[in-house]
Amino acid sequence: MAHRAQRPDEKVNHAVVLGGGQGVGKDTLLHPLKKAVGSWNFIEVSPTQITGQFNGFVKSVILRISEAHDLGDMKKFSFYDHTKTLTASPPETIRVNEKHKPEQQVPNLTGVVITTNHSDGLYLPPEDRRHLVCWAKVDKEAFSEDYWTKLWAWYNKGGVDNVCALL
């Protein structure tokens, strides 16, 4: 997280996979990072959008691919192969195709974060070196009833700015 906030002009050369059950804080964890890099630099897409015709999202500082379990007609192997160029460099540049705009090449700098609630949501071969997998081994019942309310209240009273300052 700190690398993306401090050095958006450098490729980190791996994706971060945040996994765990529903309600364990994956979105909450990413909220300060979104503020640190700017919401306009933090793009959220679905797995099916990754393989679509238009890919303006590659210009982002953070590219969050949500719900990696919902791959539509795409096979897990195909998704893995397609994201290789997004998660590591080379290639040094990526072709951008945005609707109603001429194609262009941009530096391959986006930092990929993949979130999933399913341990079988992604295909990762045993020798994979492009993904840092962080899995929450708790479920939402592990948190007190008011934990998230208190955390978000702290975020909203300046706590998120404190986290951003640490990044």
C-alpha angle 73-109-114 in degrees, rounded to nearest 5: 40
Instruction: For the chain, list the strands marked E by DSSP.
Output: 15-19, 42-45, 62-65, 93-96, 104-107, 111-116, 131-135
Confidence at residue 11, expressed as pLDDT on a 0 to 100 scale: 96
3-class SS of residue 76: helix
Structural domain containing residue 49: 2-166
pTM across the whole model = 0.93
Domain count across the chain: 1
* Interval 105-154: pLDDT, tens: 999 999 999 999 998 888 899 999 999 999 999 999 999 999 999 999 99
Looking at residue 22, which CATH number applies to its domain?
3.40.50
Other CB atoms closer than 10 Å to residue 36's CB: what's the count? 24
Q: Answer with the residue of higher pLDDT: 89 or 152.
A: 152
C-alpha 46/C-alpha 68 separation (Å) is: 8
* Interval 20-75: pLDDT, tens: 999 999 999 999 999 999 999 999 999 889 988 999 999 999 999 998 776 665 68
